[in-house]
């Protein structure tokens, strides 16, 4: 054994002894169970050696939270613990209807048929031969917002931003334009809809207007620089920027081109919006302008009055965020927040606002407006336009309450 290896081994043994004696022990492959170390001079001990796969510091542990309603069906992004706008791939929210299928990429095929001149099947390798494009955009579950109707009667006060709106994440996606594939098979002129179908046990299917395919739809195979995670649709998924998440069908296996919607189970029994007129509106794909203050929020306790930074996220499925306004007096007055670059279309925008808290109890909240002039509604406005029974596409203003002791909770049942 070489002297170099002896030195490395001795130092590694020292590190192991230090971790054991300090109580910092390994907990499986997910990291450490404790995060306390005695004072140590790190300049006297060789650090960890390179590894094949990077990991987070044990002092920066972070994970998704499995949903309260259906632990088998979804987990949420801890929005309050993230910086910037990109969600790490392993923290991207997940939502599925019948578990995560295991698909062999070497046997994968995507079929395109129906109103086309040349029905074709594409392997994963075939898809990667087409010109690739990358786009940073959000995906949001249409039921995001604690699965509640607009009356908010069942939202607890002790809820974090991630527990409230964590069915929302932002990534860089890479793949091929759907329009490129449709031109390859020769979609006929009379085609106006297509069916996207997944190969999970639920056989998730959605009818999509052909106009979205010609606009900005992508068939993606990579996320944040690597292959899709299994829960995000590996090896291939559909991506419809700005539209409700379930329409971006995962584990994609076929497109069927038609001249009418297919009226599938998911778009008749679910994902439709009751209106105040008593009617039900289908195919309400676009996610409206929305914002959420992520800090300060529950369970933060401000230690005293003075200057604090309000920090949050804003997004719209209609385009770019144009402005975010902040109210620190329960919605009586509003002031503009600072929007941080990059400000991209159908993507998340980070905002901040300097707030001088006077130590009194109050409500503070944010309100987003997109480049088309669409504004995040109050609860009253949403009820008037959509009716009280709707909980899909819930983009109403989210207030936080701060008490005189600095404790912050969600503004339960506050009609803002």
What is the reported pLDDT for 30?
33
Q: Residue 112 class from Cβ within 10 Å (0-12 exposed, 13-18 middle, 19+ buried)?
A: buried
Six token digits for residue 73:
């069906």
Rg (CA), the chain: 24
Six token digits for residue 94:
């997940």
Has residue 415 got a pLDDT over 70?
no
pLDDT in tens, 276-314: 788 888 999 999 999 999 999 999 999 999 999 999 999
Q: Which among 60, 78, 64 is positioned nearest to 294, based on CA atoms?
A: 78
Six token digits for residue 98:
């019948």
Strand 110-114 and strand 120-122: the pairing is antiparallel
The proportion of the chain whose per-residue pLDDT surpasses 70, expressed as a percent, equals 87
- Rounded distance, CA 208 to CA 261, Å? 7
What is the reported pLDDT for 2?
45
CATH code 3.90.420.10 region(s) in the chain: 68-273
Q: Which residue has the higher pLDDT, 194 or 272?
A: 194
Q: Which residue has the higher pLDDT, 97 or 173?
A: 173
Please report which confidence band the pLDDT of residue 147 belongs to, taking 50, 70 and 90 as the band edges. low
Q: Which among 82, 89, 64 is positioned nearest to 74, based on CA atoms?
A: 64
Residues 6+ positions from 261 with CB-CB distance below 8 Å:
193, 207, 267, 283
Structural domain 290-410, CATH architecture: Sandwich (2.60)
- Rounded distance, CA 44 to CA 64, Å? 36
What is the reported pLDDT for 151?
61
Six token digits for residue 153:
């009667």
Please report which confidence band the pLDDT of residue 3 belongs to, taking 50, 70 and 90 as the band edges. very low
Average the pLDDT over 157-172 and give the result.
95
Length of the chain: 416
What does 139-176 look like in DSSP terms, one character per residue?
A: EE-TTTTTT--TT-TT--SS--HHHHH-SEEEEEEEEE
Q: Is the separation of the CB atoms in 222 and 133 below 8 Å?
A: no
Q: Which residue has the higher pLDDT, 148 or 310?
A: 310
- Rounded distance, CA 26 to CA 2, Å? 28
- Rounded distance, CA 29 to CA 42, Å? 24
**Per-residue DSSP letter, 116:** B
Average the pLDDT over 312-322 and give the result.
98
Name the H helices within 229-306.
265-268
Q: How many other C-beta atoms are found inside a 10 Å radius of the C-beta of residue 51? A: 7
What is the reported pLDDT for 69?
62
Please report which confidence band the pLDDT of residue 68 belongs to, taking 50, 70 and 90 as the band edges. low
68-273 domain in CATH 3.90.420.10? yes
What is the reported pLDDT for 380?
85
H or E element, residue 112: strand 110-114
Has residue 316 got a pLDDT over 90?
yes
Has residue 25 got a pLDDT over 70?
no
What is the reported pLDDT for 38?
80
Six token digits for residue 291:
């914002």
H or E element, residue 218: strand 218-223
Q: pTM for the whole thing? A: 0.89
Has residue 9 got a pLDDT over 90?
no
SS3 content of the chain, % helix, strand, coil (to 5): 20, 30, 50
Q: State the first-to-last Cα distance of the chain, in angstroms, to the nearest integer.
A: 71
Residues 375, 381, 386, 391: what is their CA dihedral angle, to the nearest 10 degrees?
A: 80
**Per-residue DSSP letter, 32:** B
The proportion of the chain whose per-residue pLDDT surpasses 90, expressed as a percent, equals 73
Six token digits for residue 307:
């200057």
Q: Which among 173, 124, 119, 166 is positioned nearest to 146, based on CA atoms?
A: 166
Has residue 21 got a pLDDT over 70?
no
CATH code 2.60.40.650 region(s) in the chain: 290-410
Six token digits for residue 159:
């809820």
């Amino acid at each position: 054994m070489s002297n170099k290896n002896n030195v490395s081994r001795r130092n590694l043994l020292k590190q192991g002894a230090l971790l054991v004696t300090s109580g910092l022990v390994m907990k499986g492959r997910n990291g450490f169970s404790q995060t306390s170390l005695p004072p140590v001079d790190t300049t006297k001990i060789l650090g960890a050696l390179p590894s094949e796969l990077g990991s987070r510091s044990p002092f920066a542990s972070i994970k998704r939270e499995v949903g309260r309603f259906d632990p088998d069906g979804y987990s949420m992004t801890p929005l309050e613990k993230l910086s910037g706008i990109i969600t790490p791939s392993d923290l991207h929210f997940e939502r599925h209807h019948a578990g995560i299928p295991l698909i062999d990429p070497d046997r994968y095929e995507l079929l395109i048929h129906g109103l086309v001149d040349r029905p074709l099947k594409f392997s994963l390798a075939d898809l990667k031969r087409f010109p690739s494009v990358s786009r940073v955009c959000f995906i949001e579950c249409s039921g995001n917002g604690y699965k509640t109707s607009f009356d908010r009667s069942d939202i607890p006060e002790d809820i974090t931003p991630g527990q409230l709106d964590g069915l929302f994440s932002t990534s860089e996606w890479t793949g091929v334009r759907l329009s490129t594939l449709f031109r390859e098979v020769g979609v006929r002129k009379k085609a106006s809809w297509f069916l996207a179908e997944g190969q999970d046990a639920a056989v998730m299917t959605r009818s999509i207007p052909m106009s979205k395919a010609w606009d900005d739809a992508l068939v993606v195979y990579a996320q944040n620089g690597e292959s899709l995670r299994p829960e995000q649709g590996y090896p291939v998924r559909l991506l419809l920027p700005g539209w409700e998440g379930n329409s971006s069908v995962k584990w994609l296996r076929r497109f069927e081109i038609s001249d009418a919607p297919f009226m599938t189970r998911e778009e008749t029994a679910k994902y439709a919006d009751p209106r105040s007129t008593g009617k039900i509106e289908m195919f309400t794909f676009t996610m409206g302008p929305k914002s959420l203050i992520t800090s300060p929020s529950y369970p933060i306790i401000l230690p005293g009055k003075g200057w604090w930074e309000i920090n949050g996220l804003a997004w719209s499925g209609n385009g770019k965020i144009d402005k975010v306004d902040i109210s620190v007096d329960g919605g009586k007055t509003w002031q503009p927040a600072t929007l941080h670059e990059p400000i991209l279309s159908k993507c998340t925008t980070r905002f901040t606002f300097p707030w001088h808290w006077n130590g009194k109890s109050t409500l503070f909240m944010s309100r987003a407006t997109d480049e088309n002039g669409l504004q995040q509604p109050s609860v009253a406005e949403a009820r008037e336009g959509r009716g009280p029974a709707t909980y899909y596409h819930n983009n109403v203003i989210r207030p936080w309450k701060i008490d005189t002791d600095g404790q912050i909770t969600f503004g339960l049942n506050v009609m803002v």
